[in-house]
């Protein structure tokens, strides 16, 4: 459809009737109901561009705007208005033709860039989780809990009901190499005993190995932060150890009384973030020697 020029004001050297400081042209958006919209909204997206070309060199163009606007419901039924910066006045004056500034306004709808047909996502993650603690899809077995052995002349700790966990050696070899070294694949009958770890903690470790999400905000992780750190460190599950360290750092309040114990623990488990928080406490509360003297017991450092 041919476009008609719009004139704002009176062209130089001409006297055209009906030309004023305001002009109106109708813009027709055909098949409006079928135009693409912003996901999750009812806004129609519209592209607009304004070009300002030099009167003698049409190849020299100022792109004033090249944006994406949205047409949607106006809040409260009121029209919206605004302004934007086109170009510096000095630049515009260099692009006048016979004293006239000419703008090329381009309007268009946003093209549908992606197919609307359903494209399934990669099911690998969900499929791996289906194999978590699955007897048929596992080739190694662990027994966690039960009666812990004690040193001579010492009482045994309370007996817990042993819990059996199953896993794939190939997955453990990639995520928890130290745990994988404790067992041999293919021998399902021989269960590997895991001592010093509570069943709920071991389950969390194994679930993480299978790609399960153990969020920092989980109450279970917060209640077992130190136990998870020690077990993850023992079995080589580095990322889970870092998650648990972040939780421990957030939930621990450092005081003069617990400062040294926490610092020794951080050093023993190589917890850089936890140690940094403790050293910040020292820096904010005076010199090291004064804090040591305030401790209820003397500790050689």
Query: Can you tell me the distance from the alpha carbon of 183 to that of 43, in angstroms, rounded to the nearest whole number?
Result: 58
Report the sign of the C-alpha dihedral through residues 233, 235, 240, 244, in that order: negative
Res 20: pLDDT: 52
**291 three-state secondary structure:** helix
DSSP labels for 27-91? ---TTGGGS-B-TTS-PEEEEEEEEEE-SS-TT-EEEEEEEEEEE-PPGGG-----------HHH
Res 151: pLDDT: 46
Res 210: pLDDT: 93
* Listed ranges 141-155, 165-179, 208-222; the one with the highest mean pLDDT: 165-179
Assess contact for 7 and 16: CB atoms under 8 A: yes
Is residue 78 included in any domain, yes or no?
A: yes
Nearest 5°: CA angle at 185, between 184 and 187? 85
Residue 192 and residue 107 share a domain = no
Assess contact for 215 and 186: CB atoms under 8 A: no
Which has more pLDDT, 107 or 175?
Answer: 175
Res 170: pLDDT: 92
Query: Can you tell me the distance from the alpha carbon of 35 to that of 107, in angstroms, rounded to the nearest whole number?
Result: 14
Res 47: pLDDT: 72
Residue 259 and residue 246 share a domain = no
Res 73: pLDDT: 47
Res 82: pLDDT: 47
Residue 166 and residue 52 share a domain = no
State which residues form the domain around 95: 1-112
pLDDT class of 288 with cuts at 50, 70, 90:
low
The tens digit of pLDDT for each residue in 8-64 reads 666 665 555 554 556 667 777 676 666 666 555 556 666 777 777 777 776 666 666
Query: Can you tell me the distance from the alpha carbon of 290 to that of 32, in angstroms, rounded to the nearest whole number?
Result: 75
Torsion from C-alpha of 182, 184, 190, 191, nearest 10 degrees: 40
pLDDT class of 270 with cuts at 50, 70, 90:
very high
Domain count for the chain, please give it.
3
Res 44: pLDDT: 64
Is residue 117 included in any domain, yes or no?
A: no
Check whether 205 has a pLDDT greater than 90.
yes
Average pLDDT, rounded, for the chain: 75
**C-beta pairs of 276-281 under 8 Å, 24+ apart in sequence:** 277/249, 277/252, 278/254, 281/254
Residue 227 and residue 202 share a domain = yes
Residue 259 and residue 247 share a domain = no
Residue 170 and residue 103 share a domain = no
Residue 235 and residue 256 share a domain = no
Is residue 85 included in any domain, yes or no?
A: yes
Average pLDDT of span 145-169:
67
Closest CA to 159 of 170, 150, 151, 167: 150
The tens digit of pLDDT for each residue in 60-98 reads 666 666 666 665 544 444 444 445 555 677 777 777 777
| pTM for the model | 0.53
Assess contact for 159 and 132: CB atoms under 8 A: no
The tens digit of pLDDT for each residue in 244-261 reads 999 999 999 988 888 889
DSSP state of 297: S
Is residue 184 included in any domain, yes or no?
A: yes
Residue 256 and residue 185 share a domain = no
Exposed/middle/buried for residue 201 (C-beta within 10 Å: 0-12, 13-18, 19+): buried
Which has more pLDDT, 301 or 266?
Answer: 266
Res 79: pLDDT: 46
Check whether 182 has a pLDDT greater than 70.
yes
In this structure, how many other beta carbons lie within 10 angstroms of the beta carbon of residue 207?
17
Exposed/middle/buried for residue 143 (C-beta within 10 Å: 0-12, 13-18, 19+): middle
Residue 193 and residue 232 share a domain = yes
Closest CA to 49 of 67, 29, 26: 67
Is residue 14 included in any domain, yes or no?
A: yes
> What percent of the chain lies above the pLDDT cut of 90?
30
Is residue 264 included in any domain, yes or no?
A: yes
The tens digit of pLDDT for each residue in 114-156 reads 555 667 888 888 889 999 999 888 999 999 986 554 545 444 5
Closest CA to 172 of 197, 196, 208: 208
């Amino acid at each position: 459809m041919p476009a008609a020029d719009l004139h704002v004001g009176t062209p130089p050297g001409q006297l055209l009737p009906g030309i004023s400081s305001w002009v109106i042209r109708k813009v027709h958006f055909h098949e409006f109901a079928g135009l693409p919209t912003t996901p999750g909204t009812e806004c129609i997206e519209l592209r607009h561009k304004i070009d300002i070309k030099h009167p003698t060199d049409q190849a020299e163009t100022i792109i004033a705007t090249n944006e994406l606007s949205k047409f949607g419901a106006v809040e409260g039924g009121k029209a919206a208005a605004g302004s934007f910066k086109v170009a510096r006045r000095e630049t515009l004056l260099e692009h006048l033709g016979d004293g006239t500034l000419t703008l090329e306004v381009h309007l268009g709808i946003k093209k549908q860039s992606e197919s609307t047909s359903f494209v399934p996502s990669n099911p690998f993650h969900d499929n791996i989780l289906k194999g978590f603690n699955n007897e048929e899809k596992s080739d190694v077995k662990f027994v966690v809990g039960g009666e812990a052995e004690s040193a001579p002349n010492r009482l045994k700790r309370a007996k817990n009901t042993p819990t059996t966990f199953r896993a794939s050696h190939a997955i453990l070899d990639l995520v928890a190499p130290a745990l994988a070294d404790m067992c041999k694949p293919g021998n399902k009958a021989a269960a590997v005993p895991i001592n010093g770890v509570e069943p709920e903690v071991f389950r969390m470790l194994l679930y993480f190995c299978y790609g399960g999400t153990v969020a920092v905000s989980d109450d279970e992780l917060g209640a077992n932060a130190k136990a998870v750190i020690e077990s993850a460190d023992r079995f080589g599950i580095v990322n889970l150890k870092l998650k648990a360290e972040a939780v421990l750092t957030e939930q621990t309040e450092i005081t003069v009384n617990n400062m040294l114990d926490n610092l020794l623990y951080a050093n023993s488990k190589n917890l850089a973030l936890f140690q940094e928080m403790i050293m910040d406490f020292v820096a904010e509360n005076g010199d090291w020697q004064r804090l040591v003297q305030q401790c209820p017991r003397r500790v050689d450092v």
